[in-house]
Amino acid sequence: MRKVLIANRGEIAVRIARACRERGLGVVAVYAGPDATRMHVLMADQAVRLDDDQDAMHPVAAYLSVSRIIDAARRTGADAIHPGYGFLSERAALAAACVDAGITFIGPPADVIERMGSKIEARRLMEAAGVPCVPGARPADQSLEALRAAAAVVGVPLIVKASAGGGGKGMRVVADLADLDDALGAARREAESAFGDGTLYIERQVQQPRHIEVQVLADAHGTTVHLGERECSLQRRHQKVIEEAPSPIVSPQLRERLGATAVAAARAAGYRNAGTVEFLLEGSADDARFYFLEMNTRLQVEHPVTELVTGIDLVQQQLRVAEGLPLDIAAAAGGPRGHALECRLYAEAPAQGFLPQAGPILRYREPQGPGVRVDSGVREGDLVTPDFDPLLAKLIVHAPTRSLALARARQALRDYVVLGLHTNASYLLRVLSHPDVEAGHLHTHWLAAHHEALTRAPSEHERAAAAAVAASHRQLSQDQQRSAVVDGVARSGDSPWRTLGGWRG
């Protein structure tokens, strides 16, 4: 491998580009729509535009075009493609097209992506490998009568799910069998329109479950290992918001059981490269029961928390595996060290039903200090557009204990300045300050259950203080009000030292 095309944008494209540079690999960026001047493009050696002025194509569709990505790799002489997460990362078509074009796909083989992408197929495979799955039924006969009979056997509360589903689409909770027909109809319509496949299955609903996932790595030399768990129970509408490693309730014994199960799952799938096995967990410590949920055949958004507690750079390992080298994971021996937390900074307004926000970033200051890492795809002056997922950046902290990590994350969030569009920063701060979160009493519905307390308006004191600042600020000249220039020294993000990007020719 000499040159890697990164088929992604935003913070993850930036993070992967850094890892490539550390290995001396060339970096090719791709972009579409409003992204020409974004960070991931400016820091690459070369950049290829995926759309053109004649196209009325939505920029997301351009990033999702396998043929345009392959064509961009051919034109720039890139001999490998890293898909990041989202976009094409779990489309078997890209992995297959890479093989056809003689390009290395930095991820698992196409047939593995295909197999794990079908929830029903994945469950069958896992059950055959002895991996526990949520009790449920997957009738081959998809008639209403057969699904009704299956539901009666599983019992309520149950969840109707789409085989091709993801992100909560095609999913309905049924608490009373009288509501079953409506739920089946709605789930099928949603699944057909979202995935073009209305195949449904039924699972028992696990009460107040935790979302625990295990990072796995596998190389081409027969080594498959796990790097411990991440707790991702703080989610909102199936979107993770805060993740941590290790989980506050996983004991070393439970970690061994989870890890061994995840490794068995990865082996059964014929896995290679970095992947994640997701579980629902009920109970705690040695009484905990866990069930296979799905396998993500890519790098996860929340991979940094595992990196911080294991000392393993997961993207470097992905590149090693893709080059045919054995894993180099000696640093992970002895289990997790300390505690890591990740907060996802979204451009959204929690007080307005988490409405995604767009607009210019007028002021941007990242927090700094020991154990503070920011994986960001934006800078001061960037215009955030409504075309893409609203994730701006990830704040990741590492500290010796969970309580110190929480304190570190809270302080870093207070120090994180984003002005010009609303973010969820103060929402994250309230989540991390809640007694339940401090005690580690989490489940996947916790955020929804505490919505009111987490989205309160600014206090009287805060409004009074802000009004005083605004009144004084308005006394400044127009230029001073809008830029960060102080005494003639530019302190905004457009200093040449911040925009230079890579030096390599």
Partner 1 sequence: MAEWSAERRADGTWRVAGPDGSWRHAHAVTDAEDAVWVHLGDAVVVIPTERSVARRTPIQGHATLEAPMPALVTAVLANVGDVVEAGATLLLLEAMKMELPLKAPTAGRITAVHCAVGQRVTPGKALVDLSPAPGAP
Nearest residue (CB) to partner 1, 114 versus 190: 190
User: Which lies closer to partner 1 via its Cβ, residue 449 or residue 467?
Assistant: 467
Q: Supply the DSSP symbol for 365.
A: E
- Under the criterion CB under 8 A, does residue 484 sit at the interface with partner 1? yes
Q: Tokens representing 253?
A: 């014994």
Question: Three-class SS of residue 197?
Answer: coil
- The continuous run of DSSP H or E covering 188 comes out as helix 180-195
φ, ψ of residue 365 in degrees (nearest 5):
-130, 120
Q: How far is the CB of 490 from partner 1 (least distance, A)?
A: 11
**Whole-number Å distance between alpha carbons of 429 and 324:** 43
Among 121, 192, 415, 438, binds partner 1 (CB under 8 A): 415
- Interface residue with partner 1 among 175, 260, 331, 419 (CB under 8 A) is 419
* Token duo for residue 450: 């505490």
Judged by CB under 8 A, does residue 491 bind partner 1? Answer: yes
Q: Does 237 bind partner 1 (CB under 8 A)?
A: no
- The interface with partner 1 within residues 19-78 (CB under 8 A) comprises 56, 58, 60
Q: How far is the CB of 380 from partner 1 (least distance, A)?
A: 10
Angle between helices 144-154 and 180-195 (to 10 degrees): 120
- Smallest gap from Cβ 462 to partner 1, in A, equals 5
Tokens of 62: 């351009």
Least Å from the CB of residue 140 to partner 1: 33
Q: Any contact of residue 465 with partner 1 (CB under 8 A)?
A: yes
Shortest approach of partner 1 to residue 366 CB, angstroms? 13
Using N-to-C axis directions, what is the helix angle for 92-101 and 110-117, rounded to 10°? 170
Nearest to 137 by CA among 168, 165, 159: 159
Contact 301, 312 (CB under 8 A): no
The dihedral over CA atoms of 213, 217, 223, 225, expressed in degrees to the nearest 10, equals: -30
The yes or no reply on residue 254 touching partner 1 (CB under 8 A) is: no
Minimum Å gap between C-beta 281 and partner 1 is 29
Q: What sign does the dihedral 350-352-356-358 (CA atoms) show?
A: negative
Choose the stretch contacting partner 1; rule: CB under 8 A; options: 149-157, 197-205, 320-328, 349-357.
349-357
| Contacting residue, 325, 448, 458, 498, with partner 1 by CB under 8 A | 458
Report the residue count for the chain: 505
Q: Phi and psi dihedrals of 313, rounded to 5? A: -85, 110
Interface with partner 1 (CB under 8 A), residue total 56
Please report whether residue 360 would count as binding partner 1 according to CB under 8 A: yes
Sites of contact with partner 1 (CB under 8 A): 56, 58, 60, 347, 355-360, 362-363, 365, 385-390, 414-415, 417-420, 422-423, 425-426, 429, 458-459, 461-474, 476, 478, 480-482, 484-487, 491
